[in-house]
Structure 1
Amino acid sequence: MSTLIPTVKSGTKKPIESSFNLLPTLPSWFDDILGKGLGTEFMSNFNTGMTLPAVNVIDSDHEFVIDMAVPGLKKSDFDIDIDNHILSIGVESKTEQNEKTENYTRREFGYSSFKRTFAIPESVNVDKIAADYNDGILKIHLPKKEEAKKKPLKKIKIS
């Protein structure tokens, strides 16, 4: 059975660590401490300034479906592409506010982004992948090739 495999941000699988390295690296130590102390709801992607949205991957008989809760965005904020069987879902969102009154001027702006990548199994028909965004939920449909679809149960009679 093939499944979608989340990858690291660069779009490659994590390298296998050497067994000679017995001490944890500083970033992994930092992630361990924050992950245990705060819980995942407070973890953010410090490189991009936006919390990484949780993803549900559904494996049905005919397709994989990726569900991602990303409210408050527009369809134009998303950048979804496939390169060498790697599906990338990225978002860049910019906001800007200007307020002028008699005594002061205030200008606030923000920028946030994230990128999630997934290795697409060979069983997916890449040419028919589709996406839709409704009510804050991004759904990406990855239909399976005919030969990969689950066949109905066949009873064999004994002669």
Structure 2
Amino acid sequence: MSRLPVHRTSLLPDLNDLWNAFTPPGLALFGTHLLRVEDTVEDGHYIVRAEIPGIDPAKDVEVSVQERQLTIKAERSEKHVEKGRSEFNYGSFYRTVTLPPGAEGEGIEATYAKGILTISIPMGQTKESAKRIEVKPGE
């Protein structure tokens, strides 16, 4: 298993949650919550996992690929009622990840289990090769 270099801001979702916990509604740090994701390359597939607990994957998640950009959108709405007390949690989430060279647009699969969305994208052969540039003398 190899990790691809992806620009991450790992503390950002935690800071966003902390900020939202202490501010009134409407003053969120970001307009929507960020999804926590991890990515790896396993057995010829680029794998993206997103943590999205408490959703119905059939109606609350949208996964799309356009121009080497994988976009995950989700919306959660939960309500808990217990002994005359109710509590709700809602929000929309999104994340866009740039696909690595060699990722193919066909044959993409997405599954959801135990609060984790897993997206598997087949990787083709990358045609990366070094190209020698001739240096010409200047005047």
Whole-angstrom CA distance in 2 between matches of 1:87 and 1:135: 22
How many pairs were matched up?
110
Pick one of 60, 72, 82 that aligns with 1:89.
Answer: 72
Change over 3 Å in CA distance of 1:124–1:58 after alignment to 2: same
Answering whether residue 110 of structure 2 is matched by residue 127 of structure 1, we say no
- Aligned mates of 2:37, 2:88 — CA distance in 1: 28
Change (3 A) 1:71 1:110: closer
Q: CA RMSD in A?
A: 3.4
Q: Specify the structure having the higher radius of gyration (Cα).
A: 1
What is the rounded CA distance, in whole Å, between the counterparts of 1:67 and 1:136 in structure 2?
10
Residues 65, 142 of structure 1: 8 Å contact kept: yes
CA contact (8 A) 1:65 1:139 kept: yes
Distance 1:117 1:6, change over 3 A: farther
C-alpha distance in 1, partners of 2:68/2:102?
A: 11
Answer 1 or 2: which has greater helix percent.
Answer: 1
Q: 1:118 aligns with which of 63, 72, 97?
A: 97
Counterpart in the other structure of 2:44: 62
- Name the TM-score, length of structure 1 as normaliser: 0.55
Query: Which residue matches 1:143?
Result: 122
8 Å CA contact retained: 1:48, 1:112 = no
Cα shift readout 1:63-98 (whole Å, capped 9, x = no counterpart): 111111211111021111112221100111234689
Tell me the distance in 2 between the aligned counterparts of 1:125 and 1:4. 18
Q: TM-score, normalised by structure 2?
A: 0.61
**1:41 counterpart residue number:** 14
Unaligned runs of 5+ in 2: 18-27, 127-139
Displacement of 1:60 in angstroms is 2.6
Aligned CA distance change for structure 1 residues 112 and 57 (closer, same or farther; 3 Å): same
SS at match of 1:41: helix
Q: Which structure: greater strand fraction?
A: 2
What do the CA deviations read for 1:4-32 (whole angstroms, capped 9, x no partner)?
7559xxxxxxxxxxxxxxxxxxxxxxxxx
